[in-house]
């Protein structure tokens, strides 16, 4: 299965991507994780994006296109994948469509985790990470609303959106995600 997991910062995307990856036996590909690793390892990519990342803004679309294209070309992504944190802009959504055409592959669905904003704020404040300072969190939520939220309509118009209520227990959300894909836990 080729899936996108869409949702605001704090919506539980990362957690659910990992759980789904295990259930479906496909890799969870977190662009945020990949970028944080590049920064930690001080690679040329890491050096280039360090500033942008720590401000809560988005890395430019061209760079993201390269990162994702390279990652999806790896052997383990051949049988499917879950994209966590990409696409995040309309340009990236078009970019992904192009990458998939090149792979002669199609998306099976876009799982959209819906969580009220007040809950998001509470959840992110509860996490401890360098890029989780309160002003950075606000910036990340603003960037989400402006640049990523339009993807909900984009995928809806294409008949690919699978909305899931993300404001409940982790296990219940996983069950609902699998159900939306026509699967059951442990199947």
Considering 74, 78, 127, 133, which one is annotated as catalytic? Answer: 127
Beta strands 28-30; 81-84: pairing state:
parallel
Q: For CA atoms 177, 178, 179, 180, give the dihedral sign.
A: positive
Between 91 and 105, name the residue whose CB sits nearer to ligand AMP: 91
- Tokens 């509470």 map to which residue? 122
Report, in angstroms and rounded to the nearest whole number, the Rg of the chain calculated over CA atoms.
16
In whole angstroms, the minimum distance from the beta carbon of 95 to ligand AMP comes to 10
Judged by CB under 6 A, the residue of 81, 86, 112, 155 near ligand AMP is 86
Using an 8 Å Cβ cutoff, are 84 and 5 in contact? yes
Stretch binding ligand AMP (CB under 6 A), from 49-57, 105-113, 161-169, 172-180: 49-57
Between 7 and 109, name the residue whose CB sits nearer to ligand AMP: 7
Judged by CB under 6 A, the residue of 20, 45, 58, 96 near ligand AMP is 58
Between 52 and 181, name the residue whose CB sits nearer to ligand AMP: 52
Using an 8 Å Cβ cutoff, are 80 and 72 in contact? no
CA distance 170 to 81: 21
* Beta carbons within 10 angstroms of residue 179's beta carbon: 13
> Is 9 one of the binding residues for ligand AMP (CB under 6 A)?
yes
Among residue numbers 128 through 147, which ones bind ligand AMP (CB under 6 A)? 140
In whole angstroms, the minimum distance from the beta carbon of 113 to ligand AMP comes to 13
How far is the CA of 71 from the CAs of 34, 68, 114, 130, 178, in angstroms?
10, 5, 27, 25, 24
Between 47 and 179, name the residue whose CB sits nearer to ligand AMP: 47
59 DSSP 8-state letter: P
Is residue 184 helix, strand or coil?
Answer: coil
Between 57 and 183, name the residue whose CB sits nearer to ligand AMP: 57
> Is 88 one of the binding residues for ligand AMP (CB under 6 A)?
yes
CA distance 35 to 70: 13
Q: Please give the residue ranges that form the binding site for ligand AMP (CB under 6 A).
A: 9, 31-32, 35, 52-53, 56-59, 64, 85-86, 88, 92, 140
Active-site residue set: 13, 88, 127, 129, 140
């Amino acid at each position: 299965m080729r899936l996108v997991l869409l949702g605001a910062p704090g919506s539980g995307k990362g957690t659910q991507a990992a759980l789904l990856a295990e259930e479906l036996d496909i890799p969870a590909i977190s662009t945020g994780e990949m970028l944080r690793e590049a920064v930690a390892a001080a690679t040329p990519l890491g050096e280039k994006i360090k500033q942008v990342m720590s401000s809560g803004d988005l890395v430019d679309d061209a760079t993201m296109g390269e990162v994702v294209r390279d990652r999806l070309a790896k052997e383990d992504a051949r049988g499917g994948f879950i994209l966590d944190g990409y696409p995040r802009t309309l340009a990236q959504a078009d970019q992904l469509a192009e990458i998939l055409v090149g792979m002669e592959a199609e998306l099976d669905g876009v799982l959209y985790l819906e969580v009220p904003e007040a809950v998001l704020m509470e959840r992110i404040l509860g996490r401890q990470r360098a890029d989780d300072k309160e002003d950075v969190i606000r910036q990340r939520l603003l960037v989400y609303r402006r640049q990523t939220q339009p993807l909900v309509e984009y995928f809806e118009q294409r008949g690919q959106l699978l909305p899931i209520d993300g404001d409940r227990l982790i296990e219940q959300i996983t069950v609902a995600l699998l159900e939306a894909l026509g699967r059951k836990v442990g199947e």
